[in-house]
Structure 1
Amino acid sequence: MTSYIVLMNWTEQGAKNVRDSPKRLDAARKQLGDMGGSFKAFYLTMGEYDMVAVVEAPDDAVLARFSLMLAASGNVRTRTLKAFPEFAYREIITSLG
């Protein structure tokens, strides 16, 4: 599985309906699960982003589809970062020679 960091901000629509946000999170969690992925962590944050999720997906295409489905809902805008776990980071640095 590939790890990703998903940075999210509510749209005006999402903020207007913020009380429904936990239900939307549950639906997103199920949707990603049905696609073969999972949420590893979710945070409400203060600062530039409203929420941050750590997720796993089988590949980039699955996460791209998931992100597009989130965007289509009109409640959040996302930025996605592909994340390399520490062991991969060490392998990449070691391979530099």
Structure 2
Amino acid sequence: MATYITLVNFTKQGIANIKESPARLDAGKEAFKAFGAEMKQFYLAMGRYDIIIVSQAPDDEAVAKAALAIGSRGAVKTETFRVFNEDEYRDIIGALP
């Protein structure tokens, strides 16, 4: 499965209802599962982003669906990146001419 990093910021609605955030996290995990993906790690962060999520999904489409489903609820804005681990990096570099 492919690995993704999602950077998350609370919206005004999300921060106004911050006490509901743990329940929203649980719902987010279920949204990932519904599309065949899995939230592997979750971090509350300090700085430019409020939350950092590491997930795995079978393809870009699955993680895009999960991110859109979560974002459509209005509590957070997301930015997602496909990332490659060291072995994948070495394979990519090794395949260059």
In structure 1, distance between residues paired with 2:32 and 2:39: 8
Q: CA deviation at 1:64?
A: 1.0
Alignment-derived partner of residue 91 in structure 2: 91
Aligned length: 97
**Which segments of 5 or more consecutive residues in structure 1 lack a partner in the other structure?**
none
Alignment-derived partner of residue 43 in structure 1: 43
Give TM-score scaled by structure 1 length: 0.95
Shift >6 Å, 4+ stretches: none
| Cα deviation digits, residues 30-52 of structure 1 (max 9, x gap) | 12112211111000000000000
Give TM-score scaled by structure 2 length: 0.95
Alignment-derived partner of residue 53 in structure 1: 53
In structure 2, distance between residues paired with 1:40 and 1:72: 21
In structure 2, distance between residues paired with 1:31 and 1:69: 7
Q: CA deviation at 1:75?
A: 0.4
Q: CA deviation at 1:78?
A: 0.4
Query: Which stretch shifts more, 53-62 or 5-14?
Result: 53-62
| Cα deviation digits, residues 6-33 of structure 1 (max 9, x gap) | 0000000000001100100001101211
Matched residue of 1:73: which SS? coil
Q: Which residue type is aligned with residue 54 of structure 2?
A: V
Aligned alpha-carbon RMSD (Å): 0.9
